[in-house]
A and B are shown apart, each in its own frame.
Chain A
Amino acid sequence: QTVVTQEPSFSVSPGGTVTLTCGLSSGSVSTSYYPSWYQQTPGQAPRTLIYSTNTRSSGVPDRFSGSILGNKAALTITGAQADDESDYYCVLYMGSVWVFGGGTKLTVL
């Protein structure tokens, strides 16, 4: 069974840069998995940030960017702000199923 891996937690200082990653328990993430990223604050629905590896969803600030780094998909936040403190989920498309990572809880302090 394929497992999508994410760092459970991460911390960044206000104004700092952080890169969250999304990997596979076996193999490498490529653009053919169409990695996408979602932001969720407690009690709220997810918000779409990035799709198709590196395309920002409408209205998403350009300090959020997506890429492939090595064998993982990555979400980079440049100039972190207090309201970026959220859970971040990646999801990979695997032909007929979508598999979410376990999520990364980002703390801004």
Chain B
Amino acid sequence: EVQLVESGGGLVQPGGSLRLSCAASGFTFSSYSMNWVRQAPGKGLEWVSYISSSSSTIYYADSVKGRFTISRDNAKNSLYLQMNSLRAEDTAVYYCARGSPEVPYFDYWGQGTLVTVSS
């Protein structure tokens, strides 16, 4: 069974940093691309970042470019999101989502971790 478990969320002050993790199990992690998708309270979904299976290709949404860094450790079956210079508008539940290898969509989702940026 595919499982994605996010962790690392919490309360952080504006301008601060936080690192999210996503632990994957139930599939060959190194064969799949991964994504981060977020959802602000009461709002819709927003794609944040993509990383290919080998980390050779990385994409970011304009809203986080230059502040967030996606990475992965295939030996540890883990995905990460380093978030710097956090703003109030980054407050959201952050989901990790597996990318399908054949077509560009998100086939499995974690339960999410809440990040709150507030003083």
Chain B contributes a number of interface residues (CB within 8 A of A) equal to 22
Give the contact stretch, choosing among B24-32, B69-77, B80-88, B108-116: B108-116
Contacts of B59 in A (CB 8 A): 96-97
Please classify how large the interface on chain A is, using the bins under 10, 10 to 19, 20 to 34, 35 or more: 20 to 34
**Among the listed B45, B100, B108, which residue makes an inter-chain contact with A89, where contact means beta carbons less than 8 Å apart?**
B45
Q: Are B112 and A45 in contact (CB under 8 A)?
A: yes
Do A102 and B106 form a contact, CB below 8 Å, given A45-B112, A96-B59, A97-B59? no
Interface membership of chain A positions 82-100, coded 1 if the CB is closer than 8 angstroms to chain B and 0 otherwise: 0000010101010011111
Which residues of B line the A interface, CB within 8 A?
35, 37, 44-47, 50, 59, 61, 95, 97, 100, 103-112
Give 29 A-B contacts (CB < 8 Å), ordered by A residue: A36-B105, A45-B109, A45-B111, A46-B37, A46-B45, A46-B95, A46-B106, A48-B105, A48-B108, A48-B109, A52-B103, A87-B44, A89-B44, A89-B45, A91-B45, A91-B47, A91-B105, A93-B104, A93-B105, A96-B50, A97-B47, A97-B61, A98-B47, A98-B50, A99-B47, A100-B46, A101-B44, A102-B44, A103-B45
Which residues of A line the B interface, CB within 8 A?
34, 36, 38, 40, 45-48, 51-52, 57, 87, 89, 91, 93, 96-103
